[in-house]
Structure 1
Amino acid sequence: MSQKLKIAFANELNQGKLLFYKGQLDAAFGYFERAHILSQPFYGRHVKSHWWMFRIGIKRIDLREIFGQIIRMIGSAGSLIGKYPVGNTGGANVSPFKPMPIPEDLKFYFD
């Protein structure tokens, strides 16, 4: 993982955590989705992004998100062998197999 990608992931995750602790769960989730996009190729960070989405599911008592994130944390093992849907935002509201476009401002980190 390049230094610029590590920093970008940490920034997105930390912004999400800050908002999570302020109770701004919708905004936090958006940052965790961005962290997820950046972390997909890297198993530990990939799981961490799902963990925070799982925590939002717990806070909201959202069973779909809770169970969806459990499945996704297990499925994150695909990162170990390079199998993951590029650009997927990682929430339970999208298929865990669906590739999605990488947001323009995040493409820079994959160059």
Structure 2
Amino acid sequence: MELSKSTLNSGLSFSMEFGKNWLVDIQDRLRNENFELTTSELDFCNKLCKKVNKCAHDYVSNNPVKGDKEISFMEFSQFAKFMKSKYEWISDKNLSHLYSQSCYYALK
């Protein structure tokens, strides 16, 4: 299924929201911006965005940088390179948000 980079990035942004929309499926919010999308396209985007989030969170969690006294996280550039190799459509803004959110979850 071929969706535009803009649509995919909107969906990814929706999938990372906190507050009342935290962990809520994105189809309704995405439909409000892209009324021409079919139900199967909306479902595909929702599933893909969940997959992207899980990939990012797992990558950060599974690759801590161990220092003398504390554990920190990989450099953003390493994270960005990895994620772009899998999902080249992700915007820089979403990459940054995904990285900070993945680091946050890794601390929990």
Same topology, TM > 0.5: no
Higher helix share: 1
Q: Highest relative contact order (Cα 8 Å, sep 6+), 1 or 2?
A: 2
Please report the TM-score for the alignment, with normalisation by the length of structure 2.
0.34
Larger radius of gyration: 2
Please report the TM-score for the alignment, with normalisation by the length of structure 1.
0.33
